[in-house]
Amino acid sequence: MRITMEIPEDTGGAIVMDGAHVKNLRTKFTYPADAVDRIFDNAAAILSRCPGVGDRACEPAVGIMIGKVQSGKTSNFIGLSALAMDNGYPLIIVLGGTKKNLVDQNCSRISEFFDNSEDVKVMAIGGNNDNSSVLEEGFISDLIRNGDKVVLVVLKNSSRMDNVSEMMRSEIGLEPVLIVDDEGDEATLNGMTYRERCSSTYKSAVDMLNIPGRCGFISVTATPQGNYLIDSEDPISPRFGILIQPGDGYCGLSVFHGEDKARFFREISEEDSEAMETPGDGFPESFLRAFAMFFVGAALRRYNGDNGKHAMLIHNTGIKEPQFLVAERLKDLLKRWDSYVQVHAQGIPDDTYTNRIECFFKGAYEDLRLTNTHLPSYEDLDPHIVQAFNDCQKKILICNGERDDSADQRLKKNNIFVGGNKLQRGITIDGLSVTYMTRRAKKKSNVDTTEQRARWFGYRMKHLNVCRLYATAHIESDYSSILEHEQEFWAHIGGYLNEGYEFGDIPRLLELDSSDLNFTRTNVARAKRLKIPRSETQSYIILDNVVSKRNMEVSEALYSSLQTEKVSWGTTTHHVAYGVPFHVLRERFLDLIELPEEGSFSRIKSKTIETIMEANHVDPPVDVIWMRKGNDQGRTIDPDGRINQLMSGSNSNYPGDRYFDTELKYPTHLKLQIHFVKPIGMDEFRPAMALHLQFPGHFREGISNKLFVRGSDLNDA
């Protein structure tokens, strides 16, 4: 029986869910059946938005798959690739990373998953094992004509990407193409947005997605802040998307930085952090505690019959030279401790071992009581500590821009890594259990970059009892703030998606309770904190009689629908409608009038105020005041519409436009003043509307100061 999923008619009909490539891939996945089903359900949700084989040439379908750091996103995009192959896509392009080792890693993983599908040809363009010769004339088109499915794993490098684009331009025609942008927040986004130019990789990506007649362009990332915040008009701004929930056993922010963080987090002092920058003859004591924990944890795992990989990561700086220095000193430390451990194993008494090294082992043993309900005696564990040293690779594995030893982790059960930027994305450290991290930007860090450094996240539940994070208080504070942000972020996106919103239509709101973090690189996208001022006063009017007449009509309609009272001070009289719910004011007035594009209380500022109300789930009462109704106020107006002075001052009978509201009934209500001003010396213009909105102190104090919005939505680009 052929299984299909019904999808919208404009995407080519029904998706085949049980094709040969999906069937073969199901045999390769080792996850529970329900987890595998979710992978292909996610794939179908994405592919249903991409152009089908029978579609005419159309605009690229741009989407996003959002997962969690170290949660198995690769399996999801490989599942998407298999489903695409079964539904008429002969060419899959995977933008596989900015570094050759990531291209090789992606290529290897994809090849392994499809090694039982003889018609799938997986090739690297720009990896260490480069297959760029396949881009020569006719090679790819011949494969496709022969019925093969081609997967090109491409380095995120403009020249490599342009080479692939050139091949597509001459050979692909109207064949549908799926482009998967792995780590889609890195490099592909425009790093020159605010210089009004295009960064090279971004330009190549945009060119690539515009070549095929039918193209799906899907970003895959765990840190989508940049993709979320770029301008909605950007060609690679996602129009649709899904959230990929991690499977059982995943340990992420909520585990390591939530309510139970005291079980796993160990603080490093700032002095120890500085000492790790350029270690001298010795390491700080906090590092020695972490070092001992690595071996005692390995011993406990072996005692319990767990023979999985066990690893430690030291991430102290992004600069290569100190990484090599740490690795060299660490190699000496490992050899020195190993020699003492071997002497101890022979039963030879040694004061250094007993008084120094064993004290660290016993300290780690006591620490493990916090995460283990049943511990063997230290004496029973002791021989396994010796074995942990025997199982440990004496070579320190370095992963940075100059060297990548990650493949060597296969040689031993226990491995120690030192690294920098290369460890931030893509590379998997098998069995990571102990992390010692002192690296942090001196000033502001970015949420997305910081979260990508959390290599301790992943499916670690089986050995969570021996996992520890050693970091400074500042670093831990960053991750605690990011935890709150991520929870709100996922709830915000998930809530709108569940309501049927397109990803591109979700209001670009974010929360963050930290002044030390930006959401993403400010050269790519910016967010602006939403703040409530004491008041907003319109500083420009629209010098257009048609607009002025229409605004007057909206104002009169609102006035007629409400009960108003006259309030007078001498010869000054205003008409007041008390306690109008903000949502009513919005629907009947703010959303109907036309406001200027610049200045205070502009169209943008009005939308910002509405956004703040919505984001805080508040609907405050507003006293709407028609100022001097029927008596238009003459005002000097500049040729561009700027009002020289909207608000009237005080006199002997009247406290002034800015202060009379203190004498109204409800001091805690918001106050909206509606003015109509007659431009002096501009007889050709009729009276135009100008507004002043005032927020009481108690309301401003109750508004969250954690809220941010996409900068371009506030005309902040």
CA distances from 425 to 223, 409, 421 (A): 11, 17, 8
| Three-state SS at 667 | coil
What is the predicted pLDDT for the residue at 526? 93
* Beta carbons of 416 and 309 less than 8 angstroms apart: no
What is the predicted pLDDT for the residue at 10? 41
What is the predicted pLDDT for the residue at 476? 95
- How is residue 603 written in tokens? 């169209």
Q: How confident is the model at residue 268 (pLDDT cuts 50, 70, 90)?
A: very high
Residue 663, pLDDT > 90, answer no
- How is residue 647 written in tokens? 């608000």
Q: How confident is the model at residue 251 (pLDDT cuts 50, 70, 90)?
A: very high
Residue 717, pLDDT > 80, answer no
What is the predicted pLDDT for the residue at 78? 97
Alpha-helical segments (H) within 469-602? 473-498, 545-561, 582-585
Mean pLDDT of the chain: 91
The single-letter DSSP state of residue 536 is E
Q: How confident is the model at residue 40 (pLDDT cuts 50, 70, 90)?
A: very high
- Pick from 127, 129, 133, 134: nearest CA to 91: 134
- Pick from 510, 528, 533: nearest CA to 699: 533
What is the predicted pLDDT for the residue at 425? 67
What is the predicted pLDDT for the residue at 4? 39
Summarize the confidence of residues 206-229 as an average pLDDT.
95
Which residues are within 8 A (CB) of 538 and not within 5 positions of it... i.e. 6 or more apart? 595, 596, 599, 600, 601, 602, 643, 646, 690, 691, 692
Residue 54, pLDDT > 80, answer no
**Other beta carbons within 10 Å of 18:** 13
What is the predicted pLDDT for the residue at 394? 93
Domains, the chain, ordered by start = 4-248 (3.40.50.300), 251-473 (no CATH), 535-714 (no CATH)
- How is residue 178 written in tokens? 């799926």
What is the predicted pLDDT for the residue at 439? 83
- How is residue 429 written in tokens? 């450290």
* Beta carbons of 112 and 28 less than 8 angstroms apart: yes
What is the predicted pLDDT for the residue at 419? 82
The 10s digit of each residue's pLDDT in 150-184 is 999 999 999 999 999 999 999 988 889 999 999 99
The 10s digit of each residue's pLDDT in 473-497 is 999 999 999 999 999 999 999 999 9
Q: How confident is the model at residue 661 (pLDDT cuts 50, 70, 90)?
A: confident
What is the predicted pLDDT for the residue at 280? 67
Task: Name, of 22-26, 282-286, 503-507, the range with top average pLDDT.
Answer: 22-26
Q: Which of 300-304, 439-443, 570-574, 619-623 has the lowest mean pLDDT?
A: 439-443
Residue 534, pLDDT > 90, answer no
Q: How many angstroms separate the CA atoms of 717 and 712, rounded?
A: 5
The 10s digit of each residue's pLDDT in 570-584 is 999 999 999 999 999
The 10s digit of each residue's pLDDT in 452-473 is 999 999 999 999 999 999 999 9
Q: How many angstroms separate the CA atoms of 669 and 697, rounded?
A: 10
The 10s digit of each residue's pLDDT in 400-413 is 877 888 889 999 99
The 10s digit of each residue's pLDDT in 219-244 is 999 999 999 999 999 999 999 999 99
Summarize the confidence of residues 265-271 as an average pLDDT.
95
Q: What are phi and psi of 252, to 5 degrees?
A: -130, -145
**Other beta carbons within 10 Å of 424:** 21
Task: Name, of 13-17, 31-35, 76-80, the range with top average pLDDT.
Answer: 76-80
Reported as type and span, the H/E element at residue 643 is none
What is the predicted pLDDT for the residue at 465? 97
**Other beta carbons within 10 Å of 180:** 27
What is the predicted pLDDT for the residue at 392? 96
- State percent of the chain over pLDDT 90: 74
Q: pTM score > 0.85 for this model?
A: no
Q: How confident is the model at residue 416 (pLDDT cuts 50, 70, 90)?
A: very high
Q: How confident is the model at residue 424 (pLDDT cuts 50, 70, 90)?
A: low
Q: How many angstroms separate the CA atoms of 573 and 415, rounded?
A: 81
Q: How many angstroms separate the CA atoms of 227 and 250, rounded?
A: 24
Residue 8, pLDDT > 50, answer no
- State percent of the chain over pLDDT 70: 96
Q: How confident is the model at residue 80 (pLDDT cuts 50, 70, 90)?
A: very high
Q: How confident is the model at residue 279 (pLDDT cuts 50, 70, 90)?
A: low
DSSP string across 32-79? -HHHHHHHHHHHHHHHTTSPPTTPPS---EEEEEE--TTS-HHHHHHH
